[in-house]
Structure 1
Amino acid sequence: MSTPMIAPRSVNELGLGLVRQPRQVLFGPGQRRQLPDVVASIGRHALLVTDARMSTTVEFAEIVAGLRDHGLTVSVYDRTEAELPRENVMELVSLFRDDNVDVLVGLGGGSCMDLAKVASVVLANGGDVRDYYGEFLVPGPGVPVVTVPTTGGTGAEVTCISVVFDSERQMKVGVASPYLEAHASVIDPEFTLTAPPGLTAATGADALSHLIEAFTARAKNPTPDEITHKLYVGKNLLADIYARAGIRLIGGALHRLATEPDDLRARSDTMFAAYCAGMAINTSGTAGAHAIQSPIGNLTHTPHGIGVGALLPYVMRFNLPARVPEFAEIGRLLGVADATGNELDQAKAGIVRIDEILAAIGIPADLARLGLSADQLEYVADHAVLATRLTDNNPRELTRESILAILRRGHAGDRGWW
């Protein structure tokens, strides 16, 4: 099989910077105590969107009590499932469309926050969530949303996209619109102190992959019309600021959490890095690892973060020829590259360090360990290449054959250089 062609290096010739963000972000240990004031400043009837586990916790009971003490009517939807099935969206809308809810609080992991965001626009604009699959198809604002992440990874608290699993289509579909941006986000690292190692690994690997993919994304030099009507406008100055900050933090924090899960500083750094990652991907987008993970997840039912973490070493090696300066800077940000040395050596040192971080938190070293069989690689490539919203962000062209090449190396655990 021939080596895939390397496209010319893309550069942000416009000097473009673009950021989308909530109106208010509160970050820090204990800041969930500000939630009643934040919600009361927006509405009087709050719908808390969470899952069955979170709804039984002491922290959840305290939040409900605090909201009611501020005079708010509180309703609860606690049936959110992992990977957010479309059925959750339609059930929530059916249950609460006539209840005059004027603020939603997405409390939990990425699926809970994604559900709050996408349900808010369906409640306000009507129809079926399928009407809004794609980019910029939401016709108007939704019910205001406050996001409260309880895991350090997805970045969904600040992104203007929700990913829904449509069982009839057997695929994940994005609803992407600035109207999905949260009104406010309250980010409290104390929530993550009780996260089990598997959840910490999955969400941490997700955040790490967001940071790497945002920083190494294709620069697109969009037209004014594309800036107005496209969610992902490519690698840009403001996304890079957030990506750099997140990479510096997560490099040490994730490794510490592997041995010191009660380290609040490491939890805080990881959660702040996840926030930075969300801010970065909100305009640069995710890329190859996310495109390829989706069909793998459908086949193996492995958590999203575990899948992208297992793919990341192989996607980075594929992308390296088109992004040597960026990977070299990643090596310096992670403190493993000699700034006076050869740029390619610096880049490889950064990639190897990311390999080590992923191994330390327990991410499988190859795709076979996810339960993916060799005879399923063609299926994965067929479906991954259709995810053009993601593949278009990759710095090196992703064809069916190049995706197959990544999959074969990933399945064999081949971490040689391309």
Structure 2
Amino acid sequence: MNYRNFPMVPRVIFGRGSFNQLNDIIAPKRLSINAPFIFLVDDVFKNNTWLSSRIPTSYDDRIIYISANEEPRTSQVDTLVEDIILNTKERPSGIIGIGGGTILDLAKAVSIMITNKGETKDYQGWDLVKNPAIYHVGIPTISGTGAEVSRTTVLTGPERKLGINSDYTPFDQVVLDSELTKDVPTEQWFYTGMDCYIHCIESLTGTYLNAFSQSYGDMALQLCEEIFLTDNLSRVDAQEKLMMASWHGGMSIAYSQVGVAHAMSYGLSYLLGTRHGIGNCIVFDHLEEFYPEGVKVFKAMKKKHNIVLPKGICANLSDREFDIMINISLSLEPLWENALGKNWKKIMTPKKLKELYQKM
């Protein structure tokens, strides 16, 4: 048996207000006054001085505001890397991502591509990155995706939606300050939180499950059920607990894998541009056959928070469009094997997958 030796985030700071220590954390990592820190920041904070005024810039440091309205793309990473290389005197001291899963994934990808030749799309897959990334820091402002802790950065490329999965992907430093999540709108909070919940269900019911994954998955699942089903949690408690659920949920898939909902959601995202969190919810809502207990609890959470999911998003698709989605989804073989076992191709045929998509 050959066991994988996975990296973890080596340094993490947790606590409300810990964002204020960012300067103390990154200052020792500055290589020179000509080697700037590049802050990639969700553009919802552009006019939010409560956060933007606290970003500790000096010398030639830059803040680049990025819209998270679309899923991150390989071409977007290439454009950012080119812009950074052309406009800095020396290689940057580090990349700091401040935002949700989209921004964190972009920060991880940019830090890798600054030190690796070629185009980002060439690195979509498993263990294709040759050179270590530059120093990179992740600061989530919404909880659930697990992007702050995972060894992947999920990107939509010209041919597929697939992560750069590598030992060089995880952040060198993470700042978990739940106060940064205080203004997240309810629907977005729910969809991203459900990304974490679905991670847990898929990991805990998968064929790849082991004690390492289960210990993290059990904890994340317990936290999710507490956050989304109990009435007496304070807002601050809920924010702190969801931040930890996201961390544990991300850790639970380090040694296992996600499953049917994620595999199908990637197809929706690639073809229709459906955001990851809501895509997972739309798919998971129809997966009683695979996750009966998990879907039952999900529907209870949805009802409790008055969430109405979009319907009929696949209603007007052509056969060719269905084929694109099906091919993208079925190409994610480790996810299907985790969910359904070694003989998954006999269970999840293109015809069966199309029938599932047609329900959405």
Q: Quote the residue 2:326 is aligned against.
A: 381
Structure 2 counterpart SS, 1:399: helix
Q: Distance in 2 between matches of 1:411 and 1:260?
A: 39
TM-score using structure 2 length: 0.86
Q: Quote the residue 2:40 is aligned against.
A: 49
Q: Quote the residue 1:25 is aligned against.
A: 12
Alpha-carbon deviation of 1:374? 7.5
- 1:292-332, Cα deviation, whole Å (9 max, x unpaired): 11222344433211121232244353256xxxxxxxxxxxx
Structure 2 counterpart SS, 1:26: strand
Once the two structures are overlaid, the 10-residue window that deviates more, 375-384 or 32-41, is 375-384
Alpha-carbon deviation of 1:204? 1.0
- 1:17-72, Cα deviation, whole Å (9 max, x unpaired): 976421111122222122222212322531101232223322432332x344xxx6
Q: Is the 8 A contact 1:152 1:203 kept in 2?
A: yes
Q: Distance in 2 between matches of 1:297 and 1:92?
A: 22
Task: Give the letter aligned to residue 89 of structure 1.
Answer: V
Q: Quote the residue 1:200 is aligned against.
A: 189
Q: 1:113 to 1:370 in 2, by over 3 A?
A: farther
Q: 1:265 to 1:311 in 2, by over 3 A?
A: same
User: Is 2:179 aligned against 1:190?
Assistant: yes
TM-score using structure 1 length: 0.75
Q: Quote the residue 1:359 is aligned against.
A: 303
Q: Distance in 2 between matches of 1:63 and 1:95?
A: 24
- Bigger fraction of residues in helix: 1
Q: Which segments of 5 or more consecutive residues in structure 2 lack a partner in the other structure?
A: none
User: Is 2:345 aligned against 1:399?
Assistant: yes
Q: Quote the residue 2:79 is aligned against.
A: 91
Q: Distance in 2 between matches of 1:270 and 1:296?
A: 26
Alpha-carbon deviation of 1:200? 0.8
Which residues in structure 2 correspond to 1:210-249 (within 5 Å)?
Answer: 210-219=199-208, 235-249=209-223
User: Is 2:259 aligned against 1:287?
Assistant: yes
Q: Quote the residue 1:268 is aligned against.
A: 240
Alpha-carbon deviation of 1:405? 3.8
Q: Quote the residue 1:337 is aligned against.
A: none
Q: Is the 8 A contact 1:104 1:120 kept in 2?
A: yes
Task: Give the letter aligned to residue 251 of structure 1.
Answer: E
Structure 1 counterpart SS, 2:53: helix
Q: Distance in 2 between matches of 1:204 and 1:241?
A: 19
Q: Distance in 1 between matches of 2:287 and 2:195?
A: 14
Amino-acid identity (%):
23
Q: 1:362 to 1:387 in 2, by over 3 A?
A: farther
Structure 1 counterpart SS, 2:339: coil
Q: Quote the residue 2:284 is aligned against.
A: 312
- The equivalent position to 1:112 in structure 2, one of 103, 109, 115, is 103
Q: Is the 8 A contact 1:299 1:372 kept in 2?
A: no
Structure 1 counterpart SS, 2:66: coil
Q: Quote the residue 2:113 is aligned against.
A: 122
Alpha-carbon deviation of 1:108? 0.2
What's the RMSD between the two structures over aligned residues? 2.9
Size of the alignment, in residue pairs? 347
Q: Is the 8 A contact 1:154 1:203 kept in 2?
A: yes
Q: Is the 8 A contact 1:297 1:307 kept in 2?
A: yes
- 1:225-269, Cα deviation, whole Å (9 max, x unpaired): xxxxxxxxxx2222211111111111021235xx89971111211
Structure 1 counterpart SS, 2:237: helix
Alpha-carbon deviation of 1:133? 1.5
Task: Give the letter aligned to residue 199 of structure 1.
Answer: Q
Q: Quote the residue 1:179 is aligned against.
A: 168
Structure 1 counterpart SS, 2:98: strand
Structure 2 counterpart SS, 1:63: coil
Q: Quote the residue 2:152 is aligned against.
A: 161
Q: 1:204 to 1:83 in 2, by over 3 A?
A: same
Q: Is the 8 A contact 1:193 1:267 kept in 2?
A: yes
- The equivalent position to 2:129 in structure 1, one of 119, 126, 138, is 138
Which residues in structure 2 correspond to 1:327-338 (within 5 Å)?
Answer: none
Q: Quote the residue 1:343 is aligned against.
A: none
- The equivalent position to 1:371 in structure 2, one of 304, 313, 319, is 313
Q: Distance in 1 between matches of 2:345 and 2:192?
A: 28
Q: Distance in 2 between matches of 1:301 and 1:262?
A: 34
Task: Give the letter aligned to residue 157 of structure 1.
Answer: E
Task: Give the letter aligned to residue 86 of structure 1.
Answer: T
Task: Give the letter aligned to residue 85 of structure 2.
Answer: R
Q: 1:375 to 1:73 in 2, by over 3 A?
A: closer
Alpha-carbon deviation of 1:358? 3.3
Q: Which segments of 5 or more consecutive residues in structure 1 lack a partner in the other structure?
A: 1-13, 220-234, 321-347, 414-418
Task: Give the letter aligned to residue 371 of structure 1.
Answer: I
Q: Distance in 2 between matches of 1:22 and 1:189?
A: 18
Q: Distance in 2 between matches of 1:129 and 1:20?
A: 21
